[in-house]
């Protein structure tokens, strides 16, 4: 059962984001990006207050490098659509289970990112989650 509402075009949009942001990190890496996106919709805290839909999350200003820098043009493939549906249906995996941020640094992962603690690195991306005091919704179960 979906934890956020999603039309078929929303699934395609999220699938395109997964591909653009993390195709080189394999299916698990793309699923982690999906986890972060769905967490942002559900969180309603920090930089993500008022996000309620997949298009709002994907096109939030300054949110995703792929959208900002124009490599968000490839079509969704069935593989990424399956991963998008899994994220939409609430499958969450470490280190993105509760994460609201990730990024790809040149070197080691900083211990904090926008004052949020590092969870871990998966391949080239570092994942960060808020504290329960600042963003309780991301820690709630579906």
The maximal CA–CA distance of the chain, rounded, in angstroms, is 39
Residue 141 pLDDT exceeds 80 = no
pLDDT of residue 142: 64
| Domain tally, the chain | 1
Q: What is the pLDDT confidence band of residue 72, given thresholds at 50, 70 and 90?
A: confident
Residue 65 within a domain: yes
List the one residue out of 27, 77, 36 whose CA is nearest residue 54: 36
- Whole domain around residue 81: which residue ranges? 8-139
Residue 57 within a domain: yes
Residue 103, judged by CB atoms within 10 A of its CB (0-12, 13-18, 19+), counts as middle
Residue 1 within a domain: no
Give tens-digit pLDDT for 33-61. 999 999 999 999 999 999 999 999 999 99
Query: What's the CATH number where 96 sits?
Result: 1.10.10.2520
Residue 121 within a domain: yes
Give tens-digit pLDDT for 102-137. 999 999 999 998 889 999 999 999 999 998 888 998
For the chain, state the CA radius of gyration. Answer: 14
State if pTM tops 0.85: yes
- Classified as helix, coil or strand, 132 is coil
Residue 99 within a domain: yes
């Amino acid at each position: 059962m979906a934890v956020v509402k999603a039309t078929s075009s929303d699934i395609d949009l999220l699938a395109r984001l997964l591909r653009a942001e993390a195709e080189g990190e394999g299916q698990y890496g793309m699923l982690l990006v999906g986890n972060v996106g769905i967490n942002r919709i559900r969180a309603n805290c920090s930089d993500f207050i008022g996000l309620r839909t997949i298009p709002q999350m994907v096109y939030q200003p300054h949110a995703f490098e792929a959208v900002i820098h124009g490599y968000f043009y490839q079509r969704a493939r069935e593989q990424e659509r399956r991963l998008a549906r899994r994220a939409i249906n609430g499958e969450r995996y470490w280190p993105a289970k509760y994460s609201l941020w990730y990024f790809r640094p040149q070197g080691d992962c900083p211990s904090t990112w926008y004052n949020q603690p590092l969870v871990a690195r998966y391949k080239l991306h570092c994942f960060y989650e808020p504290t329960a005091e600042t963003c309780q919704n991301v820690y709630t179960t579906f």
